[in-house]
Amino acid sequence: MSALRRVAVLGAGQMGSGIAEVFARAGLDTVVCEDGPDRLRAARRRIDRSLHRAADRGRISAEQRTDAWAHLLFTDDLDALADRQLTVEAVPEDEPLKLRLLAALDKVLADPEAVIATNTSALPVTRLGIATGRPARVLGLHFFNPAPVMPLVELVPSLHTAPEVADRVEEFARDVLGKRVVRARDRAGFVVNALLVPYLLSAIRMAEGGHADAADIDAAMVHGCAHPMGPLALADLIGLDTVEAIARAMYDEDKEPLHAPSPLLSRMVEAGLLGRRSGRGFHRYDPAP
């Protein structure tokens, strides 16, 4: 098999933009596909801010920043992904949307050996894979936010994923992207979110019940348990809609009451109070420039 050099990201929100940056900084020929010019402009701004921040903090040089841009192509035409060897789907945690786009992507890809990876946080990879005509070449590749900084990816083969495909993508993520790879079974939440989300939900219920306010809950875990960030600030960073979606997927699978989203979380999502990117969640934030 040839090396994975022609890659794409389908969906360029917060996570997709970060994954595209990881690919470009690794010197890969990267196509970024989003729905419409406004979303593409937003993706360009996110990547530009992130690359400048990385250069300002000394993580990359000015030359590496310029080189990364040279490896990026932005498009709203799905057909532009036809020659890709690996495409990572990174659209929101909306199962019907993912199923529709994965089926459409499968029809576009010209190479029968092309691999499709989903960045889903919790949805069943097996169910997503069978929406395509190549379930043996579909797997989960779950990056963490911010993708250019966080070292971990979860590799999630489905019941159909060919072992050689999983091995190839693990080698790619480790040796080309420089990531620490952990393998997880295809279960809701995989490894990290199966442990993390119940903790976040417990903190949300604590705030909802009036045991302490958000600032004190976060301060307690930062200064009492040496966590780098409190649970409610972390939920805001992840996005409260994403936390809710993961919790619902976990609850739907195992009906564990502790996995059910709390009424407060659901109301905040309905109100558009999604955390950092909306400017308000459990804390308030300055809007992004």
- Annotated catalytic, 142? yes
Which of the following is catalytic: 119, 158, 193, 262?
Answer: 193
240-279: burial string, b at 16+ Cβ within 10 Å, e else: bbbbbbbbbbbbeeeeeeebbbbeebeebbeeebbbbbbe
Active site residue 121: yes
Chain center to CA of 157: 16
C-alpha–C-alpha distance, residues 123 and 118, integer Å: 9
* 157 and 139 Cβ atoms separated by less than 8 Å: yes
Catalytically annotated residue among 34, 89, 93, 154: 154
Gyration radius (Cα) of the chain, Å: 19
Instruction: Please pick, among 17, 50, 121, 262, the residue that the annotation labels catalytic.
Output: 121
Residue 61 burial by Cβ neighbours in a 10 Å radius (0-12, 13-18, 19+): exposed
Give the residue numbers marked as catalytic.
121, 142, 154, 193
